[in-house]
Amino acid sequence: MEDWKNRERLAGLVLKAAAFALIAAMCWYFRNALTYIIIAAVVSLLCRPLSKCMRKLSIKGRRMPDWLIAAISLILVCAIVLTSLIHLIPVIGGILSNVTDRLQGMSFNSYAVTEWFDKTNMWLIERIPDLGRGFRIQDAIADWVGKAFNVSKLTSVVGSVASVIGSIGIGIFSVVFISFFFVKDESLFRKIIGAIVPENIENEAIVAVGEIESLLTRYFAGLFVEVAGVAVLNFLGLWLVGGLEINGALGLAFIAGILNIIPYVGPWIGAAIGTVAGTVIKFGAGSAVAGASVWTVAATILAVFLLTQIVDNFLFQPMIYSKSIKSSPLEIFIVLLMAGHIGGVVGMLVAIPSYTVIRVVASRFLRFIKPVRRLMEATEAADQD
């Protein structure tokens, strides 16, 4: 009798493992469709604050139909993104062109460049004799460029670009189409999850998805506020304190705000780019204060970015991370370190939303595990305080 029960358990485990493997294989095979669905779910979360506001509006006791609310919400979000790109891309392009022109206008002469190449070649030959006495780094670079941009590869490159553009077009259409239905029916994603999971945990899964949607909506809204706040502070500092022209200050502030999305690393990259580009623009335009050195101007611009980062660290980030997703700063730091080690910058970008999903699922279905239970108890105690 005991052997029969053990066999039944083993058969049950084998069936569950086979079902899990089949689901994993299907998810991998249809990964593009799943990606579109996940992105559409995120877009619908961004549209949710707008759709909720419009659902509260009424004209003569009549409310707008759900399909119209969904369409207007999507159009507004897409319009905001496109308007930002249309206005800021030329500004950023102008900054890059300006920096390039200033650098080209500086005192670089052909003799200095040739001398630098000669010294570099001699240094490499002395350190690596196998290169030969006739080695020239400029010839090696020219040879590499010629191989990299071989004319025979032009057809394949054009075909690849066309394929990528086609895939992007299909992806955008798919995301917008799916997002429309997610915004139109806010419970649709919960219904899909409820239909997939076993019936005995359906209600709990629907509640968990609702909690995830609420937390991520607050997180993405807070992230938008953070990007806008950092960009505005940097713009005002670069314009009023750094003395940059409006277009230059706006473009550099926008770049720093977008890079600030990357946790820990992004603000430093934005500050470095902004400091170098701002210094070059200011001196190239001849607008630097008389008698001011390059280092003084660079230090002033860098100070603007550092002060903005201090405000972000002590005001914006605690409000967004700790409050919106109900996690302690230590949790977030450890998760970001692990995600950065696994997936680099991309891993850090998706770390907090992914951790929010895992955390809610664990609190609902894995509370019997001691570390999960202790973590949830600590969070609940912190919320009560």
Does residue 273 surpass a pLDDT of 80? Answer: yes
pLDDT tens by residue, 210-236: 888 888 888 888 888 888 888 899 999
Cβ distance 238 to 249 under 8 Å?
yes
Query: Mean pLDDT across the stretch 71-99?
Result: 75
Q: Which of 15-29, 206-220, 271-285 has the highest mean pLDDT?
A: 206-220
Asked if pLDDT for residue 15 goes beyond 70, the answer is yes
Task: State whether residue 59 is helix, strand or coil.
Answer: strand
pLDDT band at 142 (very low <50, low <70, confident <90, very high): low
pLDDT tens profile 51-72: 888 888 777 778 888 888 888 8
pLDDT value at 109 more than 50 = no
Percent of the chain with pLDDT over 90: 2
Q: What is the band of 307 on the pLDDT scale with cuts at 50, 70, 90?
A: very high
Task: Grade residue 110 by pLDDT with cuts at 50, 70 and 90.
Answer: very low
289: confidence class by pLDDT, cuts 50, 70, 90: low
User: Per-residue pLDDT tens for 23-60?
Assistant: 778 878 877 888 888 888 888 888 888 888 888 877 77
Q: What is the pLDDT of residues 168-194, one digit of tens each?
A: 778 888 888 888 888 888 888 888 888
pLDDT band for position 107 (cuts 50, 70, 90): very low
Residue 16 has pLDDT above 80, yes or no: no
What is the DSSP annotation of 280-344?
Answer: HHHHHTT-SPTT--HHHHHHHHHHHHHHHHHHIIIIIHIIIIIIHS---HHHHHHHHHHHHHHHH
Pair of tokens at residue 135? 């080695």
Q: How many angstroms from the chain centroid is the CA of residue 76?
A: 21
Question: What long-range pairs does 199-203 form, CB within 8 A, spacing at least 24?
Answer: 201/365
Give the pLDDT score at 91: 65
Of 113 and 100, more confident: 100
Q: How confident is the model at residue 349 (pLDDT cuts 50, 70, 90)?
A: confident
What is the mean pLDDT of the segment spanning 258-283? 81
Query: What confidence score (pLDDT) does residue 6 get?
Result: 67
How high does pLDDT run on average in the chain? 75
Query: What distance in Å separates the CA atoms of residue 266 and residue 351, rounded to the nearest whole number?
Result: 14
CA distance 54 to 173: 24
Q: What is the mean pLDDT of residues 204-213?
A: 83
What is the structure's pLDDT at 257? 87
Residue 163 is predicted with a pLDDT of 63
151 has pLDDT over 70: no
Q: Do residues 41 and 191 make contact, with C-beta atoms less than 8 angstroms apart?
A: no
Residue with tokens 């664990």: 362
- Percent of the chain whose predicted confidence (pLDDT) is above 70: 73
